[in-house]
Amino acid sequence: MADRPAGAGSDSSRRWPAALAAVTVAGLAVAQAAPGFTGFRPVRRRLFPQLAGQGDPGHVALTFDDGPDPCSTPRFATVLADHGVRGTFFLLGSMVERAPWLAADLAAAGHEIGVHGYDHRYLPARMPSAARSDLRRATDLIERVTGSRPRFFRPPYGVLSGPALLVARELGLTPVLWGAWGREWTPGSTPDSVYQTLARNLAGGVTVLLHDSDCTSPAGSSQAALGALPRLLAECADRGLRVGPLREHWPAQVTRQSARDR
Ligand SMILES: [Zn+2]
């Protein structure tokens, strides 16, 4: 009887299922909310370097969110082509549906295509089933349109949820956030303000976030980002930093992946 928990009896036996349920619900709530903490950049950079986009110290990963947008994305593609640079475009399924040809053009030009979800909605506020079907739908659509399966996933607003993490894993997607951004969505942003904001965190190994569409931001945001892009590329060239897509940001990992694929 000594190893019987104190107080265990018919009363506590009746209470236990309710207590277990409460603990389980609390645990699930934490599991659902915890990845949201990765939204804090200092935390994620220290604890989750790959999630924070930290890679090869001689390389800067260039990423664009929210496209493909026929009004603005082709201008980004032109600037990148003029500089002989490729980037990673995190596409929204809802935007791909409207301009599938543009998603295919980006892939054909050698840019890497990542998934930004189907709808641009905050994942922790969604039902697990909705988060799962959103990511699956966007990934399948992108594969159909571009002919290749995306490897990287960036959640809307940079905030993950437990169910989204699980389905990303099932789909073979690696979540990646960023380490430097231009905050081009803030009112009154200009190419100079975007560049100055980016420059604060610009360093070898960082992942840069810009937006090639205004679909979730005030009108003119992507124009400010576009204006900052040549200066960003020139600064990286001056510092001897290579600029490219995420697939070139973790060369050792890509090598391991290719070996597995063979
Ligand atoms: Zn976005």
DSSP 7-75: TTTHHHHHHHHHHHHHHHHHHHHHHHHGGGGGGSHHHHHHH-TTTTT---TTEEEEEEES---TTTHHH
CA of 155 to the centre of ligand 1 (A): 7
The pLDDT of residue 251: 73
CA of 238 to the centre of ligand 1 (A): 30
| Overall residue count recorded for the chain in this entry | 262
CA of 135 to the centre of ligand 1 (A): 14
Q: How far apart are CA 167 and CA 186, in angstroms?
A: 32
The pLDDT of residue 94: 98
SS3 223: helix
Q: Which residue has the tokens 């190419």?
A: 191
CA of 66 to the centre of ligand 1 (A): 5
The pLDDT of residue 48: 81
Q: How far apart are CA 148 and CA 220, in angstroms?
A: 31
CA of 252 to the centre of ligand 1 (A): 28
Assessment of whether the complete model's pTM goes beyond 0.95:
no
The pLDDT of residue 231: 98
The pLDDT of residue 32: 39
CA of 185 to the centre of ligand 1 (A): 11
The pLDDT of residue 49: 86
The pLDDT of residue 128: 92
The pLDDT of residue 107: 98
Q: Which residue has the tokens 């100055």?
A: 196
Give me the tens of pLDDT residue by residue for the chain, a chain 262 residues long: 333 333 333 333 333 333 333 333 333 333 334 434 445 555 566 668 889 999 999 999 999 999 999 999 999 999 999 999 999 999 999 999 999 999 999 999 999 999 999 999 999 999 999 999 999 999 999 999 999 999 999 999 999 999 999 999 999 999 999 999 999 999 999 999 999 999 999 999 999 999 999 999 999 999 999 999 999 999 999 999 999 999 999 976 654 554 454 4
CA of 20 to the centre of ligand 1 (A): 38
- pLDDT (tens digit per residue) in 166-182: 999 999 999 999 999 99
Q: How far apart are CA 91 and CA 159, in angstroms?
A: 16
How crowded is residue 186: how many other Cβ atoms within 10 Å of its Cβ? Answer: 14
Amino acid letter at 73? Answer: T
